[in-house]
Structure 1
Amino acid sequence: MSDDFSAEIYDAIVVGSGANGGVAAKELSERGLKVLVLEAGSAVDPQADLGHPVQDMAKRFYNLAISGRQSYQAMHPGYWKTNPDLFVDEKDNPYTTPPDRPFSWIRGRQVGGKSLTWGGITLRLSDYEFKAASRDGHEQDWPIEYADLAPYYSKLERFFQVRGDRDGLAQLPDGDYQPTIPLTPGELHLKQVVETKWPDRKLIASRGFGLNKSTRSAAWPSSSSQGSSLHVAIETGNVTLKSDAVVSHVIFDPDTHKATGVEYIDRTNKTTHRVFGRTIILCASTIESVRILLHSTARYRSGGLVDRSGMLGRFLMDHVSTSTFFFIPGLQPPAKPFALSGCDSFFIPCFVNLESQTEDFLRGYGIWGGVQRFDLPGIVRKVGKGSIGFAIAHGEVLPRFDNRIQLSEDVVDAWGIPVPHIECAWSDNEQRMLAHMHAQIDETIAVAGGKPMKLTEMFRIPLFSELVSKMEHTMSFSAPPGYYIHEVGGARMGTDPTNSVVNPHNQCWDAPNLFVTDGACWPSSGWQSPTLTEMAVTARACAFIAEEIGKGGF
C-alpha cells in the first residue's frame, strides 16, 4: 500500500467528478480551499471520445453481439445516442438483485460521470415535495425547506445559463433563466388543446440546457462537469484531479471517530492507496456513495462508521415512469425535426391535487415530452403524413424501509470490493399512479387528434427491431426501478441520529467531517428531475464546510 499525495492533507476530498462532484470542487476551490477530486473512471478526450456516431455504432454491435458487457446499459435509450464507452462495463462492475425484483442500474464511470450523458433538464423542487409528509402522513419531511435552497438554485441557474420561462406555478418554482427555446408548432397545438380541455393544467416549455455539441472552440458540452463547474474549479489552481481511483472506503481515526481520508484502488494496476483530508464529501452517485458508506462501517473495519439509526442503505427510491410514442395524422411535419434537449421539449406538471389529495395514490407526477423533435427518413416510415411525438410520465416513489442497498456477501467487483445488492420494487401506490399516468397520457393524445403507436409500428427497423421490441415491452406498463436513472435515498437526511444518516448540513451524525451531498441524502424523491436539486444541496453543504474550516473547525 502507498500513500499518494501524503505530503499534503487536503481541506477536502471530493469523491466523484460528475455533476455534484464538479459543483463541490468549484464551490470549495473558489473559497480558497485545497481540494482533491477522486474519480473511479478514466479521463475522457473530447476529440477521441465524443461525436463519432459510426465508431459508436460499431462499439455497440461488438458489446451486444460479442462481449456481452453492457446488457443493462443497452436497454436504455440514452445508450444509443452517444459513445457506449460512457456507460460501464458490467462484467467489471457487477451488482446483484433478488431474481424476482430486477433493478436496472445505468451508470457511467469516467471523469465527468453521468453529466456527459444526462438530458440536461433542471427543475426546482417546491415545499410540496420537501414537506410532503406533513401533508399526507407518509414517512418524514426533509429537514430543510425550499427557502434554504432557493439562493443556491439561483446561483446555479445563473452559472449554467439555464433556459426556461417564468410560469408562476406553485408546484414548480420559477428560476433565474435565460430566454427559453420556443415550443414547436406541434407542441403549441398540444398546448392549446390541453389547456382548453383542462383549464387547471399547463403545458410549459421545459427548463434546462439547450442542445450542445462539441466544437473546436467548446470541446465539452456545457451540461457536462468538464464544460462547466469542474473546469472552473481546476482553473482556480486549488484542485487536484485523480482519475482511475476506485474508492473502497473512508478511513476513520480510532480515537476521535472522525474521517481522516479514503482508501482507493488504482483502476488499471489494482494497487491500493490512501489519501487524507480534513473533510470528505461523497458525490459518487446515490448507490456508489451508499456502497462506500456501507463498506466503511464497523462491520467491515475496526473503528468504522457508526450507523445508530439503522437507516444506512434503507429507503432507496427511483422515479416510477412510463413512456408512450404517438402519431398525429394530418399535423404537418417539419422539413427536419426540431432539436431535443433539456429545454427543447415540454412539461405538463403536476398530476395531483396538491392541497387535498383526491386521487387513490399519494404524491404526484409530471409528463415530459416532445412533438416534431425526432423522425427517421421517409424510406423507413410506415406511417404517412403527420407528426410524431413522445410522452414520458415520471412520478414520486414513496420512501419505503424495505427498498434497500446492502453489500453482497459473495460477489466482488474487478477490484475486490463487495458490490451492492439492491432490493427495490414498486408498491401498490406506484401501481395506482401508473394506471393514472396511462389514462392521462392516452386521453391527452386523443384530444390532440393522435393515437399511441409503437416505434416498430411507425418505422421499419430491420437491424434493431428485436431490441426495440424488447425495450418497448420493458416499458409497456412501467419501467423497472433504476431505469429512469433518478435513484435517490439510502443515506437520508433528517433531524435526529435516530431517524437519519446525515443531519440538515449533510454531515454524518457520528462523523461530522464526512458529508453526503448527492442523491443518497434525499428523504423523499419528489417527481422532478433531481440533478439541479442535488447540485443545490451540494453547493449549500460546501458553503457550510468553507465557513466551518474558516473558523478552524473539523
Structure 2
Amino acid sequence: MSPHPSTEVYDAIVVGSGANGGVAAKELSERGLKVLVLEAGRTPDASELGNQARDMAKRVYNLAIAKRQSYQSMHPGYWKANPDLFIDEKDNPYTTPPDQPFYWIRGRQVGGKSLTWGGITLRLSDYEFKAASRDGHEQDWPITYQDLAPYYSKLEKFFQVRGSQEGLAQLPDGDYQPTLPLTPAEEHLKQIVESKWSDRRLIPSRGFGLHRRTPEQPWPAYSSLGSSLKAAIATGNVTLRSDAMVSHVIFDPDTHRARGVGYIDRNTNQAYEAFGRTVVLCASTIESVRILLHSTEKYQTAGLTNPSGMLGRFLMDHVSTSTFFLLPKIKQTKTFDLSGCDSFFIPCFCNLESQQEKFLRGYGIWGGVQRFDLPHILRKVGDGSIGFLIAHGEVLPRYENRVQLSQDVVDAWGLPVPHIECAWSENEHLMLDHMHRQIDEIIKLAGGKNMQLTEMFHVPVFSEFVSRMEETMSYSAPPGYYIHEVGGARMGNSPDHSVVNAHNQIWEAPNLFVTDGACWTSSGWQSPTLTEMAITARASEFIAEEMRKGNL
C-alpha cells in the first residue's frame, strides 16, 4: 500500500477493486499504464474465509446485539460468508421513501462484492442489447453483442469458466472449460421440462466451480483478489490504496476534464486528492452514481452540469422470486456442490418473437436439486431430494426509478448518502405472476412439493431471521435484494438522452469513464457481472489506445 500524500499523476485512477475494478486494473496495467486503484474499504486477510463457527458467532453479535446488518442478513449469501464482508449499515446509511424499500446489499473491502459473488457468468445477447427495437420501450444500447463477444471470450478463458455449448440464440455460448454433469434429480427435472415445453431447455449453469482453498490460491478465483487484481498487481504497474473513500471527481476549471478524485481516509477522516490522466469509475452501480452526483456543479467547482438530466435516472434491478421444494420420491443419497457452474438454468421465459404473454422482455430460472442439505438430525422431512428454483427477470428502464443525494443524511465520514427511489411497475408484476405459475407447474410435474426451509429443517437460534428472509422472498423480493442493480449513468448515442457514450466516456468529460453496472441502458435477465467485466475490458482497451494516440 502506498502512503496517501502524492504528487504523482497516474495514467489512470480506477475507483473500486471488485470484479470491474480488478479487470480495469489488469487490462490497463498489462498495456503498460501506471494505475492507482482506490478502494473505500479495508484490506482483508485470507484467514477470514471458511470459519463457519466464527462466522456464526459474528452474525449473532451483528444481528442480535449491534443490529448493524439488518438488510444484509436478508440475503442468503450473508449466511454462507464471513459477515465482515458485508457493510456496516449504521456507518453507511442510505434513504428511501417510506413505501419503497430498497435492499442495498454491499461489501466494502479490497475485492468488494467479488468475494461474496455467486460466480455465475452468462452472456447477454442482442435480444437484450436491441430489445427496444422489438418492443418500443425506451432505447437500445449503442453497442451490440458482437462488440462485446471478443471480451467475453477473453474473460472466460482467463477465468477458466465452466459451461456447455447449447446453441441457444437467447443465451450465447462461450469459451468454456468442461462442466460437471447435472445431479440425478436435476436430470429428472430436465426430462420433465423439455418433454412438457418444446421451446424450453434445462442446461448446466455457466460459471466458476466451488473454491478449494490452497496455500498457493487462498482467494477464490471468482474474486478479483484471486484473479484479475492479483494479475494487475503482478505487473508492477499498479498502486493499491485501501481505506480511500472517494468523495468526488476533480475537474480542471478551464478544460472541464477530470484531473483526479478527492477521497477521505476511512480511518483518520483526513481528506486527500489523487491525480490522473483518466478516471475510471468501477465502484459499483449506486456508488459510482453517488460519486458522479457529488461531482456535479452543485457540489464541486467546474463540476458536471448533467445537461441531459439523466444522471441518476433509470435505476434497475432484477425482479426475482424464490421457491424451495422437496422431491419426496427421489432420495438425496449425496449432497453435490453448489456453485456458479454446479447448478442449472432454464433460459429464458419471454416473448422472443410472439406476443402471447402480456409482459415485455423476459426472465430465466436458476435452480439446483441435491445441491445442499443439513445434518439428518435437523431434517423435518424424509430422505427426499431438496431443491430450489429462483426466477429473475428483466426490469424495464423507467425514468422514475432513480438515485439522488440525500439533502439531510450523511455517512460516518460526512459524505451525503444516496436517496434511492425504485419500485416495480405493472410489467414486473405481470412477469412475477408468470414466474410463479411456471415454477409451480415445474415442481408439480416433477412430483415435488413447495415447502419453506423452516418446514424442511429445524433452524435453532436463527429461525426468526430465516422466516423473515423467506417472507421477504415469498412472492417478490424488493428492489436491490438480488444484488443485480444497474443503471443511473446509462450509455447511449446522444448526450441528450444518456450520460456516457458507446465507449463509456462521460459526454461532458471524455477522460472520465463509467464501466460498471451504472452504465447499463437496460437490465437484461442474465446475471450481469460477466457483461460488466466485458464492458470494462473493452473500455480499458479503448483508453490505452486513445492514450497511445495522445487523445487522452
**Matched-pair contact (CA < 8 Å) for 2:152–2:530:** yes
Deviations 1:2-21 (CA, angstroms, capped at 9, x unpaired): x9453321000000000000
Deviations 1:133-157 (CA, angstroms, capped at 9, x unpaired): 0000000000000000000000000
Structure-1 residue corresponding to 2:289:
290
- Local SS of the residue matching 1:436: helix
**Matched-pair contact (CA < 8 Å) for 2:163–2:176:** yes
- Residue 461 of structure 1 and its aligned partner are, at CA, apart by 1.3
Structure-1 residue corresponding to 2:98:
99
Task: Write the mapping of 1:200-215 to structure 2, written as runs, cut at 5 A.
Answer: 200-215=199-214
Q: Distance in 2 between matches of 1:453 and 1:189?
A: 19
- Percent identity for Structure 1 against Structure 2: 77
Counterpart among 338, 341, 344 of residue 343 in structure 1: 341
Structure-2 residue corresponding to 1:25:
25
Q: Which amino acid aligns with 1:87?
A: F
Task: Write the mapping of 1:195-274 to structure 2, written as runs, cut at 5 A.
Answer: 195-274=194-273
Q: Distance in 1 between matches of 2:82 and 2:219?
A: 14
Q: Which amino acid aligns with 2:273?
A: R
**Matched-pair contact (CA < 8 Å) for 2:310–2:497:** yes
Task: Write the mapping of 1:34-433 to structure 2, written as runs, cut at 5 A.
Answer: 34-47=34-47, 49-335=48-334, 337-433=335-431
- Local SS of the residue matching 2:14: strand
Q: Which amino acid aligns with 1:41?
A: G
Q: Distance in 2 between matches of 1:188 and 1:88?
A: 39
Structure-1 residue corresponding to 2:443:
445
Structure-2 residue corresponding to 1:13:
13
Q: Which amino acid aligns with 1:264?
A: Y
**Matched-pair contact (CA < 8 Å) for 1:46–1:214:** no
Q: Distance in 1 between matches of 2:256 and 2:501?
A: 17
Is the deviation greater in 402-411 or in 351-360?
351-360
Counterpart among 466, 471, 475 of residue 473 in structure 2: 475
Q: Which amino acid aligns with 1:412?
A: V
- Local SS of the residue matching 2:226: coil
Structure-1 residue corresponding to 2:493:
495
Task: Write the mapping of 1:513-524 to structure 2, written as runs, cut at 5 A.
Answer: 513-524=511-522
**Matched-pair contact (CA < 8 Å) for 1:328–1:386:** yes
Deviations 1:266-302 (CA, angstroms, capped at 9, x unpaired): 0000000000000000000000000000000001122
Q: Distance in 1 between matches of 2:321 and 2:449?
A: 16
**Matched-pair contact (CA < 8 Å) for 1:332–1:386:** yes
Q: Distance in 2 between matches of 1:213 and 1:441?
A: 33
**Matched-pair contact (CA < 8 Å) for 2:161–2:177:** yes
Deviations 1:456-515 (CA, angstroms, capped at 9, x unpaired): 111111311111111111111100000000000000000010000000000000100000
Deviations 1:408-464 (CA, angstroms, capped at 9, x unpaired): 000000110000000000000000000000000000001111011111111111311
**Matched-pair contact (CA < 8 Å) for 1:50–1:214:** no
Q: Which amino acid aligns with 1:315?
A: F
Q: Distance in 2 between matches of 1:272 and 1:7?
A: 15
Q: Distance in 1 between matches of 2:399 and 2:112?
A: 28
Q: Which amino acid aligns with 2:499?
A: V
Q: Distance in 1 between matches of 2:467 and 2:140?
A: 40
- Residue 46 of structure 1 and its aligned partner are, at CA, apart by 0.2
- Local SS of the residue matching 1:365: strand
For structure 2, the 5+ residue unaligned runs are none
**Matched-pair contact (CA < 8 Å) for 2:251–2:301:** no
- Residue 72 of structure 1 and its aligned partner are, at CA, apart by 0.5
Deviations 1:495-537 (CA, angstroms, capped at 9, x unpaired): 0100000000000001000000000000100000000000000
Q: Which amino acid aligns with 1:242?
A: R
**Matched-pair contact (CA < 8 Å) for 2:293–2:405:** yes
- Local SS of the residue matching 2:72: helix
**Matched-pair contact (CA < 8 Å) for 1:327–1:453:** yes
* TM-score (normalizing by structure 1): 0.98
Q: Distance in 2 between matches of 1:212 and 1:421?
A: 36
Counterpart among 506, 509, 513 of residue 507 in structure 2: 509
Q: Which amino acid aligns with 1:169?
A: L
For structure 1, the 5+ residue unaligned runs are none
Q: Which amino acid aligns with 1:26?
A: K
Q: Distance in 1 between matches of 2:260 and 2:485?
A: 26
Q: Distance in 2 between matches of 1:85 and 1:386?
A: 35
Q: Distance in 2 between matches of 1:413 and 1:144?
A: 37
Q: Distance in 2 between matches of 1:207 and 1:149?
A: 18
- Local SS of the residue matching 1:95: coil
* TM-score (normalizing by structure 2): 0.99
Q: Distance in 1 between matches of 2:466 and 2:55?
A: 18
- Residue 305 of structure 1 and its aligned partner are, at CA, apart by 1.2
Q: Which amino acid aligns with 1:354?
A: L
Q: Distance in 1 between matches of 2:182 and 2:520?
A: 33
**Matched-pair contact (CA < 8 Å) for 1:139–1:399:** yes
- Kindly report the root-mean-square deviation, in angstroms, between the aligned alpha carbons of the 2 structures: 0.8
Q: Distance in 2 between matches of 1:40 and 1:5?
A: 16
- Local SS of the residue matching 2:37: strand
**Matched-pair contact (CA < 8 Å) for 2:7–2:275:** no
Is the deviation greater in 195-204 or in 395-404?
195-204
- Residue 217 of structure 1 and its aligned partner are, at CA, apart by 2.2
**Matched-pair contact (CA < 8 Å) for 2:5–2:272:** no
Deviations 1:149-170 (CA, angstroms, capped at 9, x unpaired): 0000000000000000010000
- Residue 381 of structure 1 and its aligned partner are, at CA, apart by 1.0
Q: Distance in 1 between matches of 2:341 and 2:137?
A: 33
- Local SS of the residue matching 2:148: helix
